[in-house]
Amino acid sequence: MAKAILETVFSEYEVYRLNMIFPALAESEQPEVGTIKCIGTLEETSDVRKVVKKCRGVDAKVVTIGAGTGTLKLTLHMPWALYVKALAMDADKDLIEGVVAYGRKSIHPEFAMTAHVKDEDGIEKYKAWPRCVVTNGPSRKVENGAEEVAEIDLELSFMPDDYDNGVYEALSANLKDDTVKTGWLQGFTPDMVHAKEVE
């Protein structure tokens, strides 16, 4: 069984869907979920910390430790209301209805992001970054007369959660708990994937 798992090949080929999950502001409310289906590219880089032990000036031992942090770079088309929320363009409450703004009141909110990814054979993987924040401001390019509509560039930082993890992944075939599988994309929390201690 272990050998079969080690020989499983999965190459991320298509990001089918992304969800941004904003925490509820009150206990009685549900988290706000925004879905993005039109994704051009997703680039992910996780940070590491390298510890080196030297012996007579030579690296005798190198230990690489995950930091739980990293960056995500996205090109995509996304719903306007979700773009406004992710960049806190609705933070100025003194504006008339229908107007948003971006400035010193725009403190980008933290959110979880999930991804539904497939390989070239249609095999599914679930991914989640439990703590994300957009790190760039509004960034758009318009070319009059262009034959293709320009995508939005979005840069995110992800941070470690209470379990010191920055990203979670699971092949759909390996997820035995159907409640986790159905709840992952719309309501991921780190608690749902950590084994419960037996009392």
Least confident of 109-123, 170-184, 185-199: 185-199
Q: What is the rounded CA–CA span in Å between residue 88 and residue 122? A: 36
20: number of Cβ within 10 Å = 23
- Dihedral angle at the C-alpha atoms of 136, 137, 138, 144, nearest 10 degrees? -60
Query: Residue 197 — φ and ψ, nearest 5°?
Result: -75, 135
Nearest to 33 by CA among 21, 48, 24: 21
**Dist CA 159 CA 132 (whole Å):** 6
Position 141 scores a pLDDT of 85
Mean per-residue pLDDT, 153-178: 94
Q: In the prediction, which pLDDT does 178 show?
A: 87
List the beta bridge partners of residue 73.
43, 155
Q: CA 130, CA 162: separation in Å to the nearest integer?
A: 10
Residues 13-60: tens digit of each pLDDT: 899 999 999 998 777 778 899 999 999 999 999 999 999 999 999 999
**Domains by residue range for the chain, with CATH:** 13-193 (2.30.110)
DSSP 164: S
Q: What is the mean pLDDT of residues 65-80?
A: 95
Please provide the average confidence, as pLDDT, over all residues in the chain: 91
How big is the chain, counted in residues? 199
